[in-house]
Amino acid sequence: MISKIEKDFYQITLRMPYRLRHVNAYLFIYEGKLALFDTGLNTPQAFETLGNDLSGIGFGIEDIQHIYLTHVHSDHCSMAGVLQKRSGAQIHLAQAAFEEYRHFREAGPTIKQLRIYYARQGMSQEQIGLVIEEYENIRGIIADFDATDFLRDKDVREFGNWKIEIISTPGHAAGHVCFFCREMKFLLSGDHVLPYIAPVLSPDIFDEAFRPLATYLDSLNALENLSVSAVYPGHGLAFTDLRERLTDIREHHSGRKKAVLEHVNKQPKATCEISREMVSPNLADFDKFLALNETIAYLKELTAEGAIKEDTVNDVLVYVRPSGY
């Protein structure tokens, strides 16, 4: 479904077979050409919807000249390669995002590291097998694409009268960026700031030192002083009060971090055990995996703050409260 936001600026809502059900892409028209921001999930239905929506405003897939990606999660980028093949579009994203995409496409090293990383979190081989199966499914959806150039923080790209500033906002994903139109005071927020849920945080399985929560909160700060009248997110409806939403998200993560701390005591517990105590047993397997990843993010912060200690028992990471807590 396509809807006009302003003259030459559209939102395209595409269905997907996930819990969130829809993903938003955004379109700018300039000089008879199209710039598409995010692409949606690579499914025949989404491709058909996009083609029909463009046809409805007098354009076609072949008119897409530029594709800008907020990040490389499959629901935002997986159709980019298909569109590039049909239109010859140039694809722009952050270098860190492209490196994550390349890692993801290299099945052998990624599967090996998935086994090592999640075994250290206390997952069984059966559970890890399900994670790898899901990884293979997602990997099969993402079409190959070539990057034209890399987006840098504070870069400005012009599309006719539109001037769009790139804001680096890693945390939810490596190399995540938002797009800010200073003159019109709107923000394309991707998954960085959503209207009704906090985006999932995940570890970097290739970088133990990466702290997803600290990185994400720093990136929220990057938006704090922007003069924004409207936020157009990757999922859900547009909203207006960015600062209020930033406060809500910070409070959410503070509350979840405290909840994780309450499940760590004097007896060593693995990440998997802590996460299992905090979620419903009726949760779908993939949602349990997402919850585990968020638990990792909170445990990393609590460890960095000195509220808990990390140790290794039989090659599995465990966490305990230090004396005095």
What does the pLDDT look like over 1-22, one tens digit per residue? 999 999 999 999 998 887 778 9
pLDDT digits (tens, 9 = 90+) for 213-248: 999 999 999 999 999 999 999 999 999 999 999 999
> What is the pLDDT confidence band of residue 325, given thresholds at 50, 70 and 90?
low
Closest among 58, 73, 96, 56 to 20, alpha carbons compared = 73
Scanning the structure block, which residue is given the tokens 């309450």?
262
Task: Judge contact between 190 and 76, C-beta under 8 A.
Answer: yes
**Helix (H), strand (E) at residue 114:** helix 107-119
Domain boundaries, the chain: 2-250, 264-320
**CATH class of domain segment(s) 264-320:** mainly alpha
Which residues neighbour 228 within 8 Å (Cβ) at sequence distance 6 or greater?
180, 185, 186, 187, 242
pTM: predicted TM-score of the whole model, two decimal places:
0.95
Q: Which CATH superfamily is domain 2-250 in?
A: Ribonuclease Z/Hydroxyacylglutathione hydrolase-like (3.60.15.10)
Residues 6+ apart with CB under 8 A from 192: 70, 169, 171, 172, 176, 178, 199, 219, 220, 223
Cα dist from 8 to 14, 68, 83, 191, 288, whole Å: 19, 17, 20, 23, 41
Residue 188's closest CA among 167, 205, 214, 171?
A: 167
17 or 145: which carries more pLDDT confidence? Answer: 145
Q: Which amino acid is at 305?
A: E
- The CA distance from 265 to 14, in Å, is 45
